[in-house]
Amino acid sequence: MKARIALYLDLIRWNRPAGWLLLLWPTLAALWLAAGGFPGWHLVTVFTLGTILMRSAGCCVNDVADREFDKHVKRTAQRPVTRGALSVRQALVFGAVLAVLAFGLVLTTNATAVAWSFAALVIALAYPYAKRYVSMPQAVLGVAFSFGIPMAYAAVQESVPLQAWVLLLANLFWVLAYDTEYAMVDRDDDLRIGMKTSAITLGRFDVAAILAFYAANLAIWSWVVYTPARQPIWLVTMAVALAQVVWHGFLIRSRSRDGCFKAFRLNHWIGLSLFAGIAAMVR
């Protein structure tokens, strides 16, 4: 039983929380902005648990979709489905259970959030297959990983205003940045097996593009959030975030596997910095 539980925990990357933190921080930031301050423990709990559950469900679908490709990639060859420790059916059933639990949480909010949750599910299911047909599948992932933002506005305001979509665009640029770093780790393997990624599409412009994506993300957040009254806190927030971006530039400049993977794993600190700044300003 312990061995079986360990397999399922490995399937959902339980020992690597950076993945769900990348989704959580922008979602919480959107909750605070939509509510004009602390949104209440109910919504914080719903979106925190919902983020963890849906990211875990996404891992199940992704590993099933990529099981034949993952056999040929150093980093993914030992995933439970890929090596046959869990069957496709077991992974999909477990993913479905997690998705149903997440939907149960959404049902405690309102009809608008429930309606938008179906769109979020469709996009999440589409991403694993986008890598076969889209030159920049990270853009599809960016929409999927950013959909907590309009859902947060829907849960608080029962509508999705333009501001939510602008912030989704900002977050999409952040996803493009960190998932391109991630794709750089596997570039050699992906070229060999014919997988499409932003790291391959961008080629020698990958590092410059990543830094531009980070800049676009921070610029759009600043455009939405900044006011003269918030200037001191936001300037500190931007200084902390920009310092991290510069560090990322140093980590990925040589395009080494270790440097790119380390940069990817550190990204959740950028998200935390933005959330902390927003929470301090709109409390």
pLDDT tens per residue, range 53-67: 999 999 999 888 878
**Could you identify the residue written with the tokens 């979106």?**
47
Provide the whole-model pTM: 0.93
Question: Which CATH architecture group holds 2-281?
Answer: Orthogonal Bundle (1.10)
More confident residue, 243 or 66: 243
Cα(66)–Cα(70) distance, rounded to whole angstroms? 6
Cα(172)–Cα(140) distance, rounded to whole angstroms? 9
275: region left, alpha or beta (phi > 0 left; psi from -120 to 50 alpha): alpha
Residue 62, judged by CB atoms within 10 A of its CB (0-12, 13-18, 19+), counts as buried
Please determine, for residue 283, whether its predicted confidence score (pLDDT) is greater than 80: no
228 — pLDDT class (breaks 50, 70, 90): confident
Please determine, for residue 194, whether its predicted confidence score (pLDDT) is greater than 90: no
Cα(145)–Cα(123) distance, rounded to whole angstroms? 9
- Kindly list the domain boundaries of the chain, sorted by start residue: 2-281
Are the CB atoms for 164 and 138 separated by under 8 Å?
A: no
Cα(123)–Cα(120) distance, rounded to whole angstroms? 5
CB contact set of 172 (below 8 Å; sequence gap of 6+):
139, 142, 143, 146
161 — pLDDT class (breaks 50, 70, 90): very high
Are the CB atoms for 63 and 11 separated by under 8 Å?
A: yes
Output the pLDDT for position 67.
Answer: 84
Helix or strand (DSSP H, E) at 41: helix 41-65
123 — pLDDT class (breaks 50, 70, 90): confident
131 — pLDDT class (breaks 50, 70, 90): confident
What type of residue is 75? R
